[in-house]
Amino acid sequence: MTLSAVEKLRRFYDPFEGEDNVLILINADPDAIASAMAVKRLLWRKVSSVTISNINIIKRPDNIAMVRLLGVDLVPLKDIVKDSFNRFVIVDSQPNHNEVFTEYPPHVIIDHHPDTGVSAPFVDIRPKYGATATIMTEYLRAAKIKPSSKLATGLFYAIKTDTDNFVRQTLIEDVRAFQFLYRHSNLHLINKIEQSELTIDFLKYFKIALDNKRVRKGHMFAYLGPVVNPDICVIIADFFMKISSVNWSIVSGVYSKKLIIVFRNDGLRKHAGKVAKLSFGQIGSAGGHKSMARAEIPFEALKEVVDYKHDKKLLRWIINKVEKKAGKK
């Protein structure tokens, strides 16, 4: 049975009472930040307090700009006193996406990533949606809440980002939410956020990627070595997809004793998430959507299959693994 938006909203409110102190946990990116802002607005005056906490360190310039320009009050998880809260919410993620989440048994989970079989008093997971922000916009509309300019701007930017301007997986619901939010958003702020993608420190990685790229039948590969932030792999993978002859972009780097592999494709041929999982799921975490995916492999597992300290051997190993699976799915 398909529930109405109003009924889903009612069930969302069920786990909460007036004296609750709520902690919203996010792996901060535009969709997670905006969705957490929406949850906080929905719970305004319905609970005692709401705090948003990021489990990751925010390093991407555009994410930093978003937090600053929209006035989002984030408290890093290291500064959180768990016993101060009695209700926990996870948005734009699920408990087994990061081991940190497992320390905070959620009362509410709202997400648009593939369902991992999680349970909580309230769960709303819609993998076909382009963004969690779309789901949250539906909740706000069901609650008859007119979003503030900053909240609307955050949700608008989140949908814009997660759907890559509606190039990636999208439903008509994403379009409707986008149209609704447009009327309440500050487009000047969105431009400021979008223009904050890079720092001077990031430029050296473009040189590394260009100097070491491998192009094979529309597949662009690059290995960056150690990176100060794994999001640089995302930025360069997206950059390579702007090349007319490229239909797959696979950019990798090393961060925090893990090999990070970011996948992008044109969404017309193979499923990036399936290719990532088939290629690397046996030795690390891997998965994603049709046109975007990611794999993370700890050094401990990596050393059993390849000499990860040898850049050329590692890149060759990645290419072989991906091409073998990309040809099948």
Q: Assess whether 117 and 167 both reside in one domain.
A: yes
C-alpha span between 288 and 267 (Å, rounded): 12
137 with 235, same domain: the answer is: no
Cβ(174)–Cβ(127) below 8 Å: no
Task: CATH number of the domain at 113, please.
Answer: 3.90.1640.10
Q: Is 92 helix (H, G, I), strand (E, B) or coil?
A: coil
What domain range includes position 297? 202-326
Lowest mean pLDDT of 62-71, 164-173, 179-188, 308-317, name the range.
164-173
- Contact between 262 and 279 under an 8 Å Cβ cutoff? The reply is no
Residues 54-65 pLDDT 10s:
999 898 889 999
Per-residue model confidence (pLDDT) at position 327: 61
Rounded to whole angstroms, the Cα distance separating 60 from 231 reads: 7
Q: Which domain-ending residue is among 177, 194, 211? A: 194
Quick one: pLDDT at residue 329? Answer: 43
pLDDT digits (tens, 9 = 90+) for 139-183: 999 999 999 999 999 999 999 999 988 877 689 999 999 999 999
Q: Using CA atoms, how far apart are residues 148 and 177, in angstroms rounded to an integer?
A: 15
Query: Where are any strands of DSSP class E within the chain?
Result: 21-26, 49-54, 87-91, 108-111, 122-125, 214-216, 219-226, 248-255, 258-265, 285-288, 292-298
> What confidence tens digit (pLDDT) does each residue in 14-45 have?
999 999 999 999 999 999 999 999 999 999 99
**227, two tokens:** 């990176």
- How far apart (Å, rounded) are the C-alpha atoms in residues 72 and 150? 9
Report the C-alpha gap between 139 and 158 in whole angstroms: 16
Looking at the structure of the chain, the number of domains it has is: 2
Which pLDDT tens digit goes with each residue over 268-291?
Answer: 778 899 999 999 999 999 988 888
Q: Is the pLDDT of residue 85 over 60?
A: yes
* Residues 71 and 176 reside in one and the same domain: yes
Residues 6+ positions from 187 with CB-CB distance below 8 Å: none
Do 118 and 20 lie in a common domain?
A: yes
- The residue among 90 and 310 whose pLDDT is bigger is 90
